[in-house]
Structures are given as structure tokens and as C-alpha cells.
Amino acid sequence: MPTNLKPYVYDYTLEDWQAWVKENGESGFRAGQIFDWLYVKRVSSFDAMTNLPKSLRDKLRDQFDFVTLNEVAHYRSKDGTVKFLFELTDKNAIETVIMKHSYGNSICVTTQVGCRIGCTFCASTLGGLKRNLTSGEIIAQVVKAQQLLDETEERVSSIVIMGIGEPFENYDAVMKFLKVMIHPKGLNIGQRHITVSTSGIVPNIYRFADEDTQINLAISIHAPNDELRSKLMPVNRRYPFADLLEACRYYVAKTGRRITFEYALMGNVNDRPEHAEELARVLKTFPMAHVNLIPVNFVSERDYVRTPRNDIFAFQRILEKNKVNATIRREQGSDIAAACGQLRAKHMESGAR
């Protein structure tokens, strides 16, 4: 848990604010006003909430922390990608990224300080899991990103929960985060513009399918069989491939939405034509399967090499020949260490937590 004794101002949903104003003897409409200051006007202090009486602002100040994240730095890539390094109130560090696309600005948020899943290609897991973020700490990342975009009158148009951490191991906070993000009186991000990405925490895939949302689901698959997947992603020993695919089928049947399977290509590890053939066999019968191929970023602590460009295209062709839809993720921010966990790892090397 964070070391703060008070909740963060971003930890509350509109319903929480409604309950809070009632408990504190305030008029019901004040909840909407507070929510509006936080997510529509996006002020950075209680004093800026000028239509609230001073007595109410004092109550808020007594009971909540406004400062949730301190920006240590933000770096801007030549391609427009912006990467934030934030320090939490307990001095742990996290990363958040704004990616520029032709269709708008996408924010990649972090859900945990570190990660215990142990994927062998990922820098974020090197120091293990320190703690879960609160919903407010996840929300504040989007608010901070939107505040930067406000300077150029741009908007956050989509969110991917693909930063540091396994979102389905911090399930309740992530669900609360989503509730605030999609609220029409808040940032009002369309559900279909939000994607949650999991390494395959099977019980929570079922839970998520039953939430009755339109939010997208992505599964980090990264291998076409149990043997290789268990080597790359130890989570596969807990939730084997067949169980994972069964949970995915349930999700598709329940929601009618397609799943994106993320496949990070690692040179000579999982990127050979035989891997593509095997993956195609596995996913051929999967309803509406879509594979997103990700050329893996070099992590100095790991020894994976990149897949040559031609081999990436060859891998895609094999999938498509087998009627499995496949795209290649555009690389962004490579000049600013934008790959997951790289900036935080550098910050930790410099002596920070």
C-alpha cells in the first residue's frame, strides 16, 4: 500500500463522491461539481474549485491528498511519443506513455509498481512486484497526460492498460479506474477505445467477460505451445494454454467482441516459420482471432535479439495464409527508451526506488 494516510482525490468514483457529500452533510449536487473540477476542468488544487464553499474545500483538504503523482520528467520522441516518469508519494517510480496515432492520442498506463509475473523478455519484472497502484494512482496518470495535451488543445482518445504490471492482479483498482474513465460526466473515453492487456490470469478473464462492458481485451500469448510459453512466461505453468484459450472463447461468446493476441517476436526463440504455422493451427478455429506482432525491444539485462524485418513479414504472411488476421505493431519512441520498464529501470539504477 502507498504510505499516504488519506485517500487520493482521484481514488473516488462519482458514486463514492455522492456518498461522501452525504456523509459530510453537504448538498448532493456538490459531488457532481467535485467530479467536474477533477475530470472536466482538471484543476490541480482544492483552491481552484471556486464554486465550492471554503468550508467544503477545507473538508476536502483535510480528508484527501490532491498530489498523487510527482512528475520527475517527461521525454518527447521525434515521432511525438511522450514518456512520463512519475514518482509516487512513497517515492516508487512508474511510467506512462502518450502515443500519437493518426486517429488520436493513446495513453499507456501502469497498474503496479513492478510485476511478479516474470516474463523473461520484460524489464518491468526484474525487481519483482513492490505493490499495487490504487485506482487514483492509475487515474492520475491519464489526468496528467490530458493536462499536457490540454496545452495543445488535444484529447486522450484511447487508453491501453499495457504499462508496467499485470492489470488482472490488481483487478478491483483497474475496474474502478475504468469506471471513472468511461463516465460521461468525466473524461468520457469510449469503452471501445480502451484495451486491457493480460498475461493470461484465467479466473479474471472469466470475471471480466461477465462485467458486461464493451472494453477490449488483449492477451499476451507470445508462443504457440505450452512448452515454449512456459519458458517465456512462467504464468503459463499456473494457467496453461488450453485453459487460457477456453477462457478466451468464453469471453468472445459472452461479449461478442474479438480478442487481440499479442505476440512479441524474439529472434530465433519464437519467430521461426514453424512457430507461425503452429500458431496458425491453434488460432485458425478461434472466433475472430487477431494477432498483433510486436518486434521485441532490446532489454540490456536480457539477451534476446530482434527479429529481422523480412522475417516479421514472413511470419505475418504465414498467419494470413491460414486466415488468421495479423498486424505488425508500429514501433514508437525508440529514441527515448519507451519500451515498458526501461525508463523506470534506469531511474532505479540511479538510486531511486
Summarize as ranges the residues that interact with ligand SF4 (CB under 6 A): 115, 117-119, 122, 124-125, 164-166, 199
Q: Confirm whether residue 215 is marked as ligand binding.
A: no
Is 291 strand, coil or helix? Answer: strand
Q: Confirm whether residue 248 is marked as ligand binding.
A: no
Which three three-digit cell numbers place residue 191?
A: 469503452
Closer residue to ligand SF4 (CB): 106 or 110: 110
Instruction: Give CA–CA dist 15/22, Å, rounded.
Output: 11
Q: Confirm whether residue 297 is marked as ligand binding.
A: yes
Helix (H) or strand (E) holding 74, with range, is: strand 69-76
Q: Confirm whether residue 290 is marked as ligand binding.
A: no
Q: How far is the CB of 341 from ligand SF4 (least distance, A)?
A: 7
- The active-site residue out of 26, 95, 137, 169 is 95
- The active-site residue out of 26, 108, 248, 340 is 340
Instruction: Give CA–CA dist 329/325, Å, rounded.
Output: 13
Instruction: Give CA–CA dist 164/111, Å, rounded.
Output: 6
Q: How far is the CB of 59 from ligand SF4 (least distance, A)?
A: 38
Instruction: Give CA–CA dist 325/317, Å, rounded.
Output: 10
Q: How far is the CB of 236 from ligand SF4 (least distance, A)?
A: 11
Q: How far is the CB of 28 from ligand SF4 (least distance, A)?
A: 41
Q: Confirm whether residue 115 is marked as ligand binding.
A: yes
Is residue 95 among the annotated active site residues? yes
Q: How far is the CB of 147 from ligand SF4 (least distance, A)?
A: 26
- Mention every residue, 6+ apart, whose C-beta is less than 8 A from residue 141: 69, 84, 86, 94, 96, 107, 109, 110
Q: What is the DSSP letter of 80?
A: S
Is residue 340 among the annotated active site residues? yes
Kindly report each contact of residues 318-324 with a partner whose C-beta sits within 8 Å and lies 24 or more positions away, as own/partner.
318/273, 318/276, 318/277, 318/280, 319/276, 319/279, 319/280, 319/283, 319/291, 321/280, 322/277, 322/280, 322/281, 322/284, 323/284, 324/279, 324/280, 324/283, 324/284, 324/289, 324/291
Closer residue to ligand SF4 (CB): 57 or 130: 130
Q: Confirm whether residue 166 is marked as ligand binding.
A: yes
Closer residue to ligand SF4 (CB): 151 or 303: 303
Closer residue to ligand SF4 (CB): 135 or 197: 197
Question: Catalytic residue numbers?
Answer: 95, 340
Annotated binding site for [4Fe-4S] cluster: 115, 119, 122
Annotated binding site: 115, 119, 122, 165-166, 197, 220-222, 297
Annotated binding site for S-adenosyl-L-methionine: 165-166, 197, 220-222, 297
